[in-house]
Amino acid sequence: MTASVRIAAAQYPIGQPDSLASWQAKVEQWVRDAAAQGAQLLVFPEYAAMELAAIDQSTASDLHASLRAVIALGPSIDAHHADLARRFGVVLLGGTRPFGQDDRQIVNRATLYMPDGQKGYQDKIMMTRFERESWDIKGGTELRVFRTSLGMLGISTCYDVEFPMIARAQAAAGAQVILCPSCTDSLQGYHRVRIGAQARALENQIFVVQAPTVGMAPWSPALDENYGAAGVFVPPDGDSPDDGIVAIGTEGQGAWVMADVDLSRVHRWRSAGAVRPFAHWPEQYCGEKSSDLPIEVVPLD
């Protein structure tokens, strides 16, 4: 495992590719640029793959038809990301994509690609109202942590990072970095995810990396508006920045946001920090599981 890692978080502008080849060339250039700057871990945003729906103009403006079109391109998306990870020697979190399961349910899948050809995936657990009510995308049912040559990585996609128990389970299983690909259609949505990311960094004494989509795509009912800034967050403790922000981009601009992080700091924060929220977590339940702890409602009215 490498202690020091250069992380590249994408502020990825949603475009309108006219072919699979043009999309492949765009993503390759992004990976090439990050690798040229020494990045070892590259993080693309949630639903970045949905820009591929633009290829078929006859269905691009139809929410469900565009979903099906991108699902059909899944093998090509996978193959391209795997090839880029291998050729550039990087650990690559591809932009998440809708994935059709054997039971015909559709999930929002984030896939992590290794330079040696291995890969693993994490399905988004918590669905937003848009995903639940308009898009009919289902939540995943399993959490994973990935042991890689760079360190232990977890993935909490967008809305997931607003819920503390998901990242807590990943941190308890050994994750040193939580990757948070995001896609938000308002500044309020972006800040909800960012605040969640910073809270998870504080609670778990861990690194959290947010990578958002940016830009306007009026042709797409799924990606019409995209707001956000990429960031790398830590607990504000010891030699960390006072605000817990290691790196932050300029909202709305397409760019890589880079940060060099020392993963050994996770152990130092947890063992010698001014506060120890990771170790003290169980005390908020009086030493018991929250589900087993009786709660009294005290009438004061």
Beta-sheet strands, E only, within the chain:
4-13, 41-43, 91-93, 97-100, 106-113, 119-123, 145-147, 152-155, 177-182, 207-216, 225-226, 231-233, 245-248, 255-262
Cβ atoms 223, 213 nearer than 8 A: yes
Please indicate whether residue 286 is annotated as part of the active site: no
Please indicate whether residue 119 is annotated as part of the active site: no
d(CA 186, CA 174) in angstroms, rounded, equals: 33
d(CA 125, CA 243) in angstroms, rounded, equals: 29
d(CA 109, CA 70) in angstroms, rounded, equals: 12
Cβ atoms 266, 206 nearer than 8 A: yes
Residues 6+ apart with CB under 8 A from 217: 14, 15, 16, 51, 223, 224, 225, 226
Task: Using the structure block, give the residue that is written with the tokens 């130092």.
Answer: 268
Cβ neighbours, 10 Å, residue 157? 27
d(CA 281, CA 206) in angstroms, rounded, equals: 14
Catalytic residue (choose from 46, 51, 131, 162): 46
d(CA 280, CA 262) in angstroms, rounded, equals: 23
Catalytic residue (choose from 51, 131, 158, 183): 158
CA dihedral 59→43→225→248, nearest 10 degrees, is: -170
Please indicate whether residue 158 is annotated as part of the active site: yes
Which ranges in 131-180 belong to alpha helices (H)? 164-172
Catalytic residue (choose from 26, 51, 119, 124): 124
Catalytic residue numbers, as ranges? 46, 124, 158
